[in-house]
Amino acid sequence: MSSESATTTEGRSAAAVTLGELGRELSAVTLAFHAAAAERMGLSGTDHKCLDLAMHSPGPLTAGRIAELSGLSTGAVTGVIDRLERGGFVRRVRDPHDRRKVLVEVTTCNEGRYDHIFHGLIEGVTEIVGRYRPEEVEVIVRYTRDSIDLMRAQIARLHNLS
């Protein structure tokens, strides 16, 4: 191996370590933020995360899909949906294409009620993004998407371990 490629490899390894450490720290503070937001909304962290998944889905989800996305068991998701439904955050509706299926749909009764919780975060992210050139933002977006794909693959790998 040439000294140039060794230096490049060492640099990439060091960058991977730094990004790993920063990723763990970002994950921890993101978790803490969502726990605080959930508390302000009267939800548990798990219920808040499942509500977030449903809110950012292009349409209603089955309980099985929420379980798949959240990593929870279907039994645990049933309890989550029950609590979210009691709180007025979601409702169960029949699938119009298959009446045997039940979908979980986000309600609009709380729409806008919790915007103040996330307003500062949204403004802050917008300000941070404004510090970068468009091509730098593209790299950050690509890295973030690749990291999400990696984490999903690792979750699947862990679920498949015997």
CATH number of the domain enclosing 54: 1.10.10.10
Task: Supply the pLDDT for residue 3.
Answer: 55
Contact (Cβ atoms closer than 8 angstroms) between residue 101 and residue 60 = no
Model confidence band, residue 26 (pLDDT cutoffs 50, 70, 90) = very high
pLDDT exceeds cutoff 70 at 21: yes
For residue 99, the surrounding DSSP H or E stretch is: strand 98-106
Q: Residue 105: which of 115, 118, 117, 95 has the closest Cα?
A: 95
pLDDT exceeds cutoff 60 at 4: no
Q: What is the mean pLDDT of residues 28-56?
A: 93
Residue 137 inside a domain? The answer is no
Residue 147 inside a domain? The answer is no
Residue 17 inside a domain? The answer is yes
Structural domain count of the chain: 1
pTM across the whole model: 0.76
Range of the domain at 88: 3-131
Residue 144 inside a domain? The answer is no
pLDDT exceeds cutoff 70 at 2: no
Task: Supply the pLDDT for residue 82.
Answer: 97
Residue 39 inside a domain? The answer is yes
Task: Supply the pLDDT for residue 5.
Answer: 56
Model confidence band, residue 33 (pLDDT cutoffs 50, 70, 90) = very high
Residue 24 inside a domain? The answer is yes
Cα end-to-end span (Å), the chain: 38
pLDDT exceeds cutoff 90 at 112: no
Is pLDDT larger for residue 81 or for residue 111? 81
User: What does each C-alpha distance from 35 to 47, 48, 81 come to in angstroms?
Assistant: 10, 8, 18
Task: Supply the pLDDT for residue 138.
Answer: 98
Model confidence band, residue 153 (pLDDT cutoffs 50, 70, 90) = very high
Q: What is the mean pLDDT of residues 119-123?
A: 95
Q: What is the mean pLDDT of residues 155-161?
A: 87
Residue 62 inside a domain? The answer is yes
Residue 154 inside a domain? The answer is no
